[in-house]
Amino acid sequence: MGMGGKNFVLRLVRIRFAACAWVIVISLPMDILSFLKGPFRSDGNILSIGAREVPVQFVRNPRARRYILRLLPDGIARVTIPRGGSTAEAARFAGRNVLWIQRQLQRQIERIKQPRTWKTGDEIYYRGTLVRLEAEEDEVSGCGWVRFGDQRLRIKETNADLRRSVEQHLQKIAFLELPARVMELARQHNFPVRKVTVRNQRSRWGSCSVRGTISLNWRLVQTPESVRDYIILHELAHMREMNHSPRFWLEVARVCPDYAVSERWLKKNSKLLR
Ligand SMILES: [Zn+2]
């Protein structure tokens, strides 16, 4: 809503950027080259940096003396617009600081510790319940099985780290279930969803583009179903309010009255994203 103007601004910046890119290309290393090809996409306020999509948020602050760029913990680049400033200038400012954003992103990723291994006897979340991973070997075939909750999957080695296999299995469940659930809730509340993607993300539970694409983290099959539905409804609400303004939260409360309970659960279990 009301994003058309910013959209246009980003497109202008993209042209500016593309026009000057070839001059500096020759002396830059590969990773920088990859994003020079298209730092801006006009898919809402999205900066494409390398393979990553960084949402950009503009916030006015009359007390600010200059444009300020910050990378928020959830991976959103926020540009503060000072008194008398404009969104157009803020977008240009973000465009000039793409390298800085990329460096901050890299730092953010490095801060996230290596995921720990999963072995038999460990407990993981599945649909909001802690379930034990039980690996067992099939003596005839030499293969093995892992069980958790009502799930069972084949594995090659019962003593190895089970995390990869179990996560792949959870992803499969997510691919089957999440898009269908989005469509169901979208129908129920009248949101015109065009596309649903399921992603492997470490920093966020979901996102929404102005073009009507909802992206969800496969780990939502690990949260309680009420939390999963809240995240879906949160992203759907962004189709009406592309921000976190009081109006947005009113819309969330309208479609998901108990959302605060889910927010608390997510806060308490934020390590699920690690
Ligand atoms: Zn949001």
What is the per-residue pLDDT across 133-176, written as a single tens digit (0 to 9) for each?
A: 999 987 777 789 999 999 999 998 877 899 999 999 999 999 99
If phi > 0 it is left, if psi is from -120 to 50 it is alpha, else beta; for residue 193 that is beta
Q: What is the pLDDT of residue 39?
A: 44
Question: What is the 170 CA–ligand 1 centroid distance (Å)?
Answer: 24
Question: What is the 88 CA–ligand 1 centroid distance (Å)?
Answer: 23
Q: What is the pLDDT of residue 249?
A: 97
Question: What is the 237 CA–ligand 1 centroid distance (Å)?
Answer: 8
Question: What is the 235 CA–ligand 1 centroid distance (Å)?
Answer: 6
The pLDDT confidence band at residue 47, using thresholds 50, 70 and 90, is confident
Question: What is the 95 CA–ligand 1 centroid distance (Å)?
Answer: 23
> What's the rounded Cα separation, in Å, for the pair 68 and 78?
8
* Number of residues that this document lists for the chain: 274
Residue 246 clears pLDDT 60, i.e. is over it: yes
> What's the rounded Cα separation, in Å, for the pair 266 and 227?
8
Question: What is the 176 CA–ligand 1 centroid distance (Å)?
Answer: 24
> What's the rounded Cα separation, in Å, for the pair 28 and 51?
17
Residue 4 clears pLDDT 70, i.e. is over it: no
pTM for this structure?
0.60
Residue 81 clears pLDDT 70, i.e. is over it: yes
Question: What is the 193 CA–ligand 1 centroid distance (Å)?
Answer: 16
Question: What is the 248 CA–ligand 1 centroid distance (Å)?
Answer: 9
Q: What is the pLDDT of residue 107?
A: 80
**Where would I find the beta strands (DSSP E) of the chain?**
40-41, 46-49, 52-60, 68-71, 77-81, 123-126, 129-132, 134-137, 144-148, 151-155, 195-199, 206-208, 213-217
The pLDDT confidence band at residue 252, using thresholds 50, 70 and 90, is very high
Q: Architecture of 176-273 per CATH?
A: 2-Layer Sandwich (3.30)
The pLDDT confidence band at residue 112, using thresholds 50, 70 and 90, is low
Question: What is the 245 CA–ligand 1 centroid distance (Å)?
Answer: 10
Parallel, antiparallel, or unpaired for β 68-71 and 77-81?
antiparallel
> What's the rounded Cα separation, in Å, for the pair 247 and 93?
27
Q: Which residues contact 40 (CB under 8 A, 6 or more apart)?
A: 10, 11, 13, 14, 17, 46, 47, 48, 95
Domain chopping of the chain, boundaries: 4-111, 176-273
Question: What is the 35 CA–ligand 1 centroid distance (Å)?
Answer: 25
Average pLDDT across the chain, whole number:
81
Residues of the chain with pLDDT > 70, as a percent, come to 82
Q: What is the pLDDT of residue 20?
A: 28
Averaged pLDDT for residues 182-206: 93
Question: What is the 116 CA–ligand 1 centroid distance (Å)?
Answer: 28
Please provide the DSSP assignment of 193-259 as one string: --EEEEE--SS-SEEE-TTSEEEEEGGGGTS-HHHHHHHHHHHHHTTT-SS-SHHHHHHHHHH-TTH
The pLDDT confidence band at residue 114, using thresholds 50, 70 and 90, is low
